[in-house]
Structures are given as structure tokens and as C-alpha cells.
Amino acid sequence: MTLFSLNNLTVDVPGRRLLHEVSLNLPAGRMIALIGHNGSGKSTLLKALARQIPATGDIRFEDRPLPDWSARDYARRLAFLPQTTPPAEGMLVRELVALGRYPWHGALGRFGPQDEAAVAGAMQECGVTRFADRLVDTLSGGERQRVWLAMMVAQQASTLLLDEPISALDIAHAVEVLQLVRHMCHSQNRSAVIVLHDVNMAARYCDHIVALKGGRVALQGTPDDLMTPAALHDIYALQMEILARPDGSQVAVPA
């Protein structure tokens, strides 16, 4: 099944074209990495998928054109996390997670037992239950990122879009977050599209790779397809060497 199908997707800002007629199919139920050099258009592509920026061309999500989705229905199926999460002034962790229920109860609907259960379950899944009554802004970066992930889980969307979720985290927290997302995908049959900077992280944790270069698709395939000197040179214009580890996984380092 196809999660997203893109046909001639183009994004322009005054004086520059960020995405050039991208046509692409993204598989469902996978953890998909969007990689590419700075300015390659990976964040732009993610924002276009999240309907955060206007784009021309055709995007279909779950075989339905994007304009046919109402804002709330879309938010029930798909959750988006921006690159920099805003400060949540004066908000408790459980209140922030409960905001994820907005697409379900709307502006005036009752916050019922179902919502309660979804919030509790989301905090459980992301391991933030013990912070429930702490202020969000007092948490560390890694903990805060998990709280935002919990908000997306509470949204009960089957697709998660994450814009560089680990760029501000140290290596331990980055691994923790990616493992959590991977677990969310594989155990609950969710799909995730993640913008990542680190090729090794992408290859290690994701099932499917989409690489952009100058606003065009440079590569689409498995991590094994990515981890070759030729493919990496094509994407980053840099000579890379692939080292094999004893367990068979591969690591790319600049040659």
C-alpha cells in the first residue's frame, strides 16, 4: 500500500525553486528517512506533505488528494512535529500530551474517557508518565522531545512526520528517540517520515531511504542501496568509505 504518492510536486519561494517536479511513492508501514545536503529541499518536502506550506502539483495521502482532506480528518491520520518545538509556557506534560486530542474532540467537544485513555497510553508508550505533572519547559531536551512524541501518539495518527527530531540531542538521546520511533512504527504498524542529517543513523534505524539533491530525488531505496560510495558521492559530492561492522551493519565515513 502506498502512503503518499507525489506527482510533479513543485515548491517555489520568490526567486527560487525549492522542489523541482518531484514524483515519488512512499510505502506505508515503514520508517522512511529523508536525507540530503543542506538546502536539498528535504524539510520543504516534509512541510509540503504536512500541508504546512503551499505547493503545486499533486499529492495523494492514502489514495486521496490532499485538498480533499479536511484539516481535522488529516490531523487524525497524520501527525507532524516541526524542527524546533516551541516553548510550552506554563504547560504541564499531561496538558501538552492532551493537546494531541484536539483533532478528536475539537474546540468544544467533551474530553471523555477515551481521550483520557489515549493520553495515558501515549505517555506510557513514550515513557513520560513519571513527568506527567512536571512543567514541560523544565525538562531536558531528550525528555521534552519524548513528550512531544507522546503528543503525536495521543493524536492516534497512523503516520508521523518528524522534521530533524534529533538535531538538538546528544548521541544517547538521539538513539533513544529513534529507537522509540522505530518501536512505534513496527509494533503499532504506523508509518513515519523523518528528516535526518546523519546517514548512519538513517541507514541504521530506517527501512526506506529517500535522498534529495538540489530539490530533486537523487535516490530511493533500502539502506543497503544508500550505503555505497557511489550513491553517497552522488548525494553529497563527497568521497565516502563504507566500513563493515562485525554484525554486518555498515558505517559510512569520509574517505
For position 27 contacting another protein by CB under 8 A, the verdict is: no
Minimum gap (Å) between residue 160 Cβ and another protein: 11
For position 14 contacting another protein by CB under 8 A, the verdict is: no
For position 159 contacting another protein by CB under 8 A, the verdict is: no
Element (H, E) at 245: none
Binding to another protein in span 77-136, by CB under 8 A? 79-82, 84-92, 95, 99-100, 102-103, 106-108, 135
- Whichever of 65 and 87 has its CB closer to another protein, that residue is 87
- Whichever of 49 and 166 has its CB closer to another protein, that residue is 49
Binding to another protein in span 32-51, by CB under 8 A? 50-51
Q: What residues contact residue 181 under an 8 Å CB cut-off, 6+ apart?
A: 31, 149, 160, 162, 165, 192, 194, 205
Written as nine digits, the cell of 239 is 568521497
CA distance 216 to 184: 29
- Whichever of 136 and 201 has its CB closer to another protein, that residue is 136
Is residue 137 within 8 Å of residue 89, measured between CB atoms? yes
DSSP string, 150-191: HHHHHTT-SEEEEESTTTTS-HHHHHHHHHHHHHHHHHHT-E
Minimum gap (Å) between residue 106 Cβ and another protein: 8
For position 71 contacting another protein by CB under 8 A, the verdict is: yes
Is residue 170 within 8 Å of residue 149, measured between CB atoms? no
3-class secondary structure, 115: helix
Minimum gap (Å) between residue 126 Cβ and another protein: 17
Stretch that binds another protein, among 64-72, 197-205, 228-236, 246-254 (CB under 8 A): 64-72
Selection from 80, 59, 117, 95 nearest residue 191 by Cα = 80
Is residue 137 within 8 Å of residue 87, measured between CB atoms? yes
For position 76 contacting another protein by CB under 8 A, the verdict is: yes
| DSSP letter assigned to residue 50 | T
Minimum gap (Å) between residue 71 Cβ and another protein: 4
- Whichever of 1 and 108 has its CB closer to another protein, that residue is 108
Minimum gap (Å) between residue 253 Cβ and another protein: 32
CA distance 57 to 55: 7
- Whichever of 99 and 253 has its CB closer to another protein, that residue is 99
Binding site for another protein (CB under 8 A): 50-52, 54, 70-76, 79-82, 84-92, 95, 99-100, 102-103, 106-108, 135, 137-138, 155
